[in-house]
């Protein structure tokens, strides 16, 4: 019970740092999976350009699988933390059990898509036979063996909800190390292992994810003693599932919209394959920076949700203040790194013909990181305070309503030669600034209606 007491009694500033650092590292390592794959694939002896383009095209589906797993986990996280804050251990056991039942359902859907839907999806974005073959091979492996990333996402949130974020980070580190070690061995064919190219990158990724999931399963069973475990708690409970997705559905939609946005951007940039590849490579760097904000958000949400369950106005206000402050610091650091070292990242990926497009995207889009990070923090605050609608609206503005029409309009000028492709990149900062203003208005309203009224 020491962890629950920590959530209740430790000063919020200290708690935010103690919980946030492991979560930030965990999310950063999750982003490393895709960066590492691209770096090794970009340095293949044959077909590296086609392989990088293939990874760009499969990335939205990888993000979508993560979205559903993490979104379900976010709902479980906030509900479990709130339930424990209320001292209801019986319901907490059902919350945890139902989340694992949902994980099994999610995996079945991913498996079926991997078997039947992959080729149609990849062919919608390219007519290049080599890119198509590589993309189908990579994505099919990731979907068929997707149970690793799905259950890792759930066990990670179960551990975070009880304050044990350090252990979720350990699991993430193990998976990342396994992936990094296996990548060159399987991709290039080192030692007795045959050279598998893009397929090798996929196998390295899923093996690392499975290793993480197994380790976190052990941690969950051994350490989460605040509630009982067992198959009986996995029996579907409509009320609990509804509560999980009342909180988690906006997070799923937010993450899924990222997938849709990347997919549509691939279609917008289809007229220029080098720019398309450059966007895919930059997006992985962008995700690395924004995942720092997502990691801190995953500390903000349970801290504020637990305080909300306790009806502690002071701890909620401290959670909002320190969450936003630390997010701003992280995003400024991200902007500095990406503005100073764009050439270094291009060299890491062996970007080739995409190099100049990649550097241009990095210099322009990274300006938006500060506002994007604040928007992500806002969404974590909304979710903790049952503000699912507000979180959904911010996601829709950032990843659909503003960004895609702007990018589409700008692409018309680029295709006609009136402007360069770099005009398209400006759609990102414009979108994040507008969304940040709307998010601030929502935060003031939620604070007035749900926090200020507490004793």
Residues 275 and 148 in one domain: no
pLDDT given for residue 29 in this prediction: 72
Nearest residue to 322 via CA among 307, 338, 335, 310: 307
Whether residue 7 has pLDDT greater than 90: no
Confidence of residue 166 (pLDDT cuts 50, 70, 90): confident
| Backbone phi, psi, residue 126, to 5° | -150, 155
What percent of the chain has a predicted confidence (pLDDT) above 70? 98
Per-residue pLDDT, averaged over 89-94, amounts to 90
3-state secondary structure 381-433: HHHHCCCHHHHHHHHHHHHHHCHHHHHHHHHHHHHCCCCCCHHHHCHHHHHHH
Distance CA 228, CA 242 (A): 21
Per-residue pLDDT, averaged over 353-359, amounts to 92
Collapsing DSSP states into helix, strand and coil, what is residue 371? Answer: helix
pLDDT given for residue 231 in this prediction: 86
Of the chain, the end-to-end C-alpha distance in Å amounts to 26
Q: Which of 211, 236, 261 is the last residue of a domain?
A: 236
Residues 337 and 383 in one domain: yes
Distance CA 79, CA 95 (A): 8
Confirm whether 265 is domain-assigned: yes
pLDDT given for residue 2 in this prediction: 53
Confirm whether 87 is domain-assigned: yes
Residues 321 and 199 in one domain: no
Residues 232 and 258 in one domain: no
Per-residue pLDDT, averaged over 83-102, amounts to 90
3-state secondary structure 255-301: HHHHHHHHHHHHHHHHHCHHHHHHHHHHHHHHHHHHHHHHHHHHHHH
Q: Could you tell me which residues come within 8 angstroms of residue 389 by beta carbon, excluding any fewer than 6 positions away? A: 250
Tell the residue number behind the tokens 């979180």, with chain if given: 391
pLDDT given for residue 3 in this prediction: 54
Residue pLDDT, tens place only, 208-218: 999 999 999 99
Residues 324 and 225 in one domain: no
Confirm whether 354 is domain-assigned: yes
Whether residue 27 has pLDDT greater than 80: no
Residue pLDDT, tens place only, 285-315: 998 899 899 889 988 998 998 899 888 899 9
Whether residue 371 has pLDDT greater than 60: yes
pLDDT given for residue 70 in this prediction: 85
Residues 329 and 198 in one domain: no
Residue pLDDT, tens place only, 114-150: 999 999 999 998 888 999 999 999 999 999 999 999 9
Confidence of residue 361 (pLDDT cuts 50, 70, 90): very high
Confirm whether 99 is domain-assigned: yes
Q: Which of 236, 268, 290 is the last residue of a domain?
A: 236
Per-residue pLDDT, averaged over 166-183, amounts to 89
Whether residue 328 has pLDDT greater than 90: yes
Q: Could you tell me which residues come within 8 angstroms of residue 333 by beta carbon, excluding any fewer than 6 positions away? A: none
Confirm whether 231 is domain-assigned: yes
Q: Could you tell me which residues come within 8 angstroms of residue 74 by beta carbon, excluding any fewer than 6 positions away? A: 157, 247, 248, 251, 298, 301, 383
Residues 408 and 259 in one domain: yes
Range of the domain at 322: 251-454
Residue pLDDT, tens place only, 389-448: 898 899 899 999 999 999 999 999 988 877 888 999 999 999 999 999 999 999 999 999
Total length of the chain: 455
Residues 360 and 391 in one domain: yes
What percent of the chain has a predicted confidence (pLDDT) above 90? 60
Residue pLDDT, tens place only, 150-164: 999 999 989 988 878
Q: Which of 210, 236, 262 is the last residue of a domain?
A: 236
Confirm whether 245 is domain-assigned: no
CA angle, residues 358, 25, 177, in degrees to nearest 5: 80
Per-residue pLDDT, averaged over 332-336, amounts to 96
Q: Which has the higher per-residue pLDDT, 63 or 239?
A: 239
How much of the chain is in helix, strand and coil states, percent to nearest 5? 85, 0, 15
pLDDT given for residue 106 in this prediction: 96
pLDDT given for residue 359 in this prediction: 94
Q: How many CB atoms lie within 10 A of CB 246?
A: 15
Whether residue 250 has pLDDT greater than 80: no
* Cβ atoms of 337 and 398 closer than 8 Å: no
Which of 255-259, 268-272, 443-447 reaches the highest mean pLDDT? 443-447
Q: Whole-model pTM above 0.85?
A: no
Residues 431 and 296 in one domain: yes
Residues 139 and 38 in one domain: yes
Distance CA 319, CA 381 (A): 8
Q: Could you tell me which residues come within 8 angstroms of residue 183 by beta carbon, excluding any fewer than 6 positions away? A: 36, 37, 40, 200, 201, 204
Radius of gyration of the chain (CA): 21
What is the average pLDDT score of the chain?
A: 90
Distance CA 290, CA 267 (A): 23
Per-residue pLDDT, averaged over 261-268, amounts to 92
Residues 88 and 141 in one domain: yes
**Both tokens assigned to 364:** 């322009």
pLDDT given for residue 84 in this prediction: 86
Confirm whether 244 is domain-assigned: no
Residues 403 and 437 in one domain: yes
Nearest residue to 279 via CA among 421, 435, 130: 421
Domain count, the chain: 2
Confirm whether 364 is domain-assigned: yes
Per-residue pLDDT, averaged over 356-383, amounts to 94
Confidence of residue 327 (pLDDT cuts 50, 70, 90): very high
Q: How many CB atoms lie within 10 A of CB 132?
A: 18
* Cβ atoms of 248 and 75 closer than 8 Å: yes
Whether residue 1 has pLDDT greater than 70: no
pLDDT given for residue 46 in this prediction: 85
């Amino acid at each position: 019970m020491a962890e629950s007491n920590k959530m209740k009694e430790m000063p919020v500033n200290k708690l935010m740092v103690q919980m946030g650092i492991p979560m930030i590292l965990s999310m950063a390592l999750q982003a490393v999976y895709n960066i590492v794959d691209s770096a090794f694939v970009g340095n293949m002896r044959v077909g590296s350009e086609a392989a990088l383009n293939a990874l760009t095209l499969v990335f939205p589906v990888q993000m979508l699988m993560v979205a559903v797993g993490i979104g379900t986990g976010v709902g479980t996280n906030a509900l479990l933390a709130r339930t424990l804050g209320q001292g209801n251990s019986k319901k907490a056991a059902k919350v945890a059990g139902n989340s694992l039942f949902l994980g099994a359902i999610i995996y079945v859907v991913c498996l079926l898509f991997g078997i039947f839907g992959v080729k149609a999806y990849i062919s919608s974005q390219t007519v290049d036979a080599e890119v198509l073959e590589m993309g189908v091979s990579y994505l099919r492996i990731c979907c068929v063996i997707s149970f690793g990333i799905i259950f890792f996402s759930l066990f990670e949130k179960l551990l975070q909800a009880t304050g044990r974020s350090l252990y979720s980070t350990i699991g993430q580190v193990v998976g990342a190390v396994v992936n990094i070690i296996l990548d060159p061995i399987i991709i290039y064919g080192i030692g007795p292992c045959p050279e598998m190219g893009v397929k090798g990158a996929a196998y390295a990724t899923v093996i690392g994810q499975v290793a993480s999931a197994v380790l976190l399963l052990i941690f969950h069973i051994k350490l989460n003693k605040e509630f009982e475990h067992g198959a009986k708690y996995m029996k579907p409970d409509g009320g609990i599932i509804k509560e999980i997705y009342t909180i988690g559905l906006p997070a799923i939609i937010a993450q899924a919209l990222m997938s849709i946005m990347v997919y549509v951007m691939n279609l917008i940039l289809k007229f220029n394959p080098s720019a398309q590849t450059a966007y895919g490579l930059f997006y992985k760097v962008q995700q690395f920076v924004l995942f720092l904000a997502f990691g801190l958000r995953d500390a903000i949400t349970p801290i504020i949700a637990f305080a909300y369950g306790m009806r502690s106005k002071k701890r909620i206000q401290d959670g909002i203040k320190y969450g936003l402050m630390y997010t701003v610091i992280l995003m400024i650091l991200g902007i500095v790194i990406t503005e100073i070292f764009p050439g270094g990242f291009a060299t890491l990926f062996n970007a080739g013909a995409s190099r100049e497009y990649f550097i241009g995207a990095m210099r322009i889009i990274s300006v938006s990181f500060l506002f994007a990070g604040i928007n992500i923090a806002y969404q974590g605050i909304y979710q903790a305070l049952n503000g699912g609608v507000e979180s959904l609206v911010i996601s829709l503005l950032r990843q659909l309503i503003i960004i895609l029409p702007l990018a589409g309009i700008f692409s018309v000028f680029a295709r006609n030669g009136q402007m360069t492709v770099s005009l398209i990149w400006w759609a990102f900062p414009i979108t994040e600034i507008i969304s940040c203003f709307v998010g601030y208005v929502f935060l003031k309203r939620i604070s007035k209606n749900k926090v200020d009224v507490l004793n």
